[in-house]
Amino acid sequence: MQRDTGAGDRTPGTPSPTHGGRLRHRKRSNEVPSDVNTTNGANLLLNDQNKYKSMLVRTYSSLWMMAGVVFLIYMGHLYIWAMVVVVQIFMAKELFNLLRKANEDRQLPGFRMLNWHFFFTAMLFTYGRFLSHQLVNTVTSDKLLYKLVSRLIKYQMFICYFLYIAGFVWFIITLKKKAYKYQFSQYAWTHMILLMVFAQSSFTVANIFDGIFWFLLPASLIAINDVAAYFFGFFFGKTPLIKLSPKKTWEGFIGASVTTLFSAFVLANFMGHFQWLTCPRKDLSTGWLHCDPGPMFTPESYDLPGWMPQWFPWREIAVMPVQWHALALGLFASIIAPFGGFFASGFKRAFKFKDFGDSIPGHGGFTDRMDCQMVMAVFAYIYYQSFVMVQDLSVETILEQILRNLTFEEQHELYEQLGKLLVRAN
């Protein structure tokens, strides 16, 4: 599929629908002529009818995607989770198909099913781990269902392991003499895909249930970074950034970084005002959410330093602590996340593909859209777990957990073990 054997997607003359609009921080003109030609490239862009058409296609599908995402956010956590699952399935399907050789596959019936078996096992494992609390809290209504679900969660690791072993044994039993190498490569490829797809999506889902804010902000920052990089590159782009993506420029990169940092700061404040976005979801319900925003989203007032000019209207600003964290997210989004895109480019070049798939008109496949998002989602989760959540885990919250969740015997046991630990420390 779409083997890229020509330099077609790199010159402005070929408005391939899949790359035409991916105009982040790219130089529009050819690389060979001098940089002075940048404006000429823009002229070429304006003049080419095909480019207009492809831009239209891309804009149309972008609008639909944005509208869909906004709608799902309005609907709530459960629906966002469903969206993530759907995106996962599409990505996995694209990637499974990518390095499949149709002629070899004909001799191996049922091999594709093996991929989906591992996919299902991975899904059971990751969502079982990350959403076990939510699941338990949802089924507390029915006693029988509660027992069933708690059992499943208790033995979840074992169940998933056995499913994996079943797949492993099935793989070995279906090894065919002439196709060993192909089958082993596919097996390794399946593991890599599932690792990539599930790590990032499970972290995304974990973030969602901690508060849509922690999913929406990183995703928006990536989008803003891309758009800003395109515009800065379009107007100021001159120095190429990396050999891997010749259309990216340093001007675009730096301009986008500054913009992303600034908008991270502002956007965090804006999003922090909505309880729908900031409250964590403890179960799988879909109703409205009310909660105490917590110290992270409570604005603190800072007096502006004396050196500010007189005409500046505001004497003090209200900054939520989360805005400082958002700066870190913005820094990562602008500097490290683009490497996800470089990785995908390099991968496509290595294996001579043009796109990962063709699900989205004008954009290519799901994986093309998600490459930077994946890197960002993992970072957002790890950052949240390391720096944001721990601040909420004060002595009070842990004490409350102890008193609420443990039986008396368990509390005493905890007390004893803690005592031993502290005595040794002294």
Partner 1 sequence: QPGLSRIAGSPSSPSFPKHAARSLYRIPFHTRRPSRRRGYGGAAACSPSPALRPREFNFGVPVMQRDTSSSDASASHAGRVRRRRHATEATTDGNRANGQPLLVNDQNKYKSMLIRTYSTVWMIGGFAFIVYMGHLYIWAMVVVIQIYMARELFNLLRKSSEEKQLPGFRLLNWHFFFTAMLYTYGRFLSRQLVNTVTSDHLLYKVVSGLIKYQMFICYFLYIAGFVWFILTLKKKAYKYQFKQYAWTHMILLTVFAQSAFTVANIFEGIFWFLLPASLIVINDIFAYLFGFFLGRTPLIKLSPKKTWEGFIGASVTTIISAFLLANVMGRSQWLTCPRKDLSTGWLYCDPGPMFKSEHYSLEEWVPHWFPWKELAIMPVQWQALALGLFASIIAPFGGFFASGFKRAFKIKDFGDSIPGHGGITDRMDCQMVMAVFAYIYHQSFIAPQNFSVEIILDQIIRNLAYEEQKYLYERLGEIFHERQLTQS
Which residues make up the interface to partner 1 (CB under 8 A)? 154-155, 157-158, 161, 165, 168-169, 171-173, 175, 177, 180-181, 183-184, 188-189, 191-192, 195, 242-244, 336, 339, 342-343, 346-347, 349-351, 375, 378-379, 382-383, 385-387, 390, 393-395, 398-399, 401-403, 405-406, 410-415, 417-419, 421-422, 424-425
C-alpha atoms less than 13 angstroms from C-alpha of 168 in its C-beta half-sphere? 7
Burial, 354: exposed, middle or buried (Cβ in 10 Å; 0-12, 13-18, 19+)? buried
Query: Least distance (Å) from partner 1 to the CB of residue 61?
Result: 28
Query: Least distance (Å) from partner 1 to the CB of residue 59?
Result: 30
* Nearer CB in complex with partner 1: 12/338: 338
Q: Which long-range contacts (CB under 8 A, 24 or more apart) does 339-347 make?
A: 339/375, 340/371, 340/372, 340/373, 340/374, 340/375, 340/376, 341/245, 341/371, 341/372, 342/242, 342/244, 342/245, 343/371, 344/368, 344/371, 345/244, 345/245, 346/244
C-alpha span between 88 and 278 (Å, rounded): 25
* Nearer CB in complex with partner 1: 151/273: 151
Q: Take residue 167 and report the two structure tokens written for it.
A: 């797949």
Query: Least distance (Å) from partner 1 to the CB of residue 110?
Result: 17
Query: Least distance (Å) from partner 1 to the CB of residue 268?
Result: 20
* Nearer CB in complex with partner 1: 67/406: 406
Enumerate residues 6+ apart whose C-beta is below 8 A from 258.
none
Q: How far is CA 256 from CA 250, 251, 264, 295, in A?
A: 10, 8, 12, 30
Query: Least distance (Å) from partner 1 to the CB of residue 314?
Result: 35
* Nearer CB in complex with partner 1: 25/51: 25
- State the Cα torsion 349-49-235-238 to the nearest 10°: 40
* Nearer CB in complex with partner 1: 44/328: 328
C-alpha atoms less than 13 angstroms from C-alpha of 29 in its C-beta half-sphere? 18
Handedness of CA 6, 11, 14, 17 (dihedral sign): positive
> What are the backbone dihedrals phi and psi of residue 134, each rounded to the nearest 5 degrees, phi first?
-65, -40
C-alpha span between 408 and 232 (Å, rounded): 62
* Nearer CB in complex with partner 1: 52/347: 347
| Among candidate residues 265, 321, 317, the one with its CA nearest the CA of residue 293 | 321
* Nearer CB in complex with partner 1: 168/270: 168
Query: Least distance (Å) from partner 1 to the CB of residue 84?
Result: 21
Query: Least distance (Å) from partner 1 to the CB of residue 421?
Result: 7
* Nearer CB in complex with partner 1: 144/395: 395
* Nearer CB in complex with partner 1: 106/404: 404
Query: Least distance (Å) from partner 1 to the CB of residue 91?
Result: 17
Enumerate residues 6+ apart whose C-beta is below 8 A from 373.
200, 218, 219, 222, 340
Query: Least distance (Å) from partner 1 to the CB of residue 12?
Result: 22
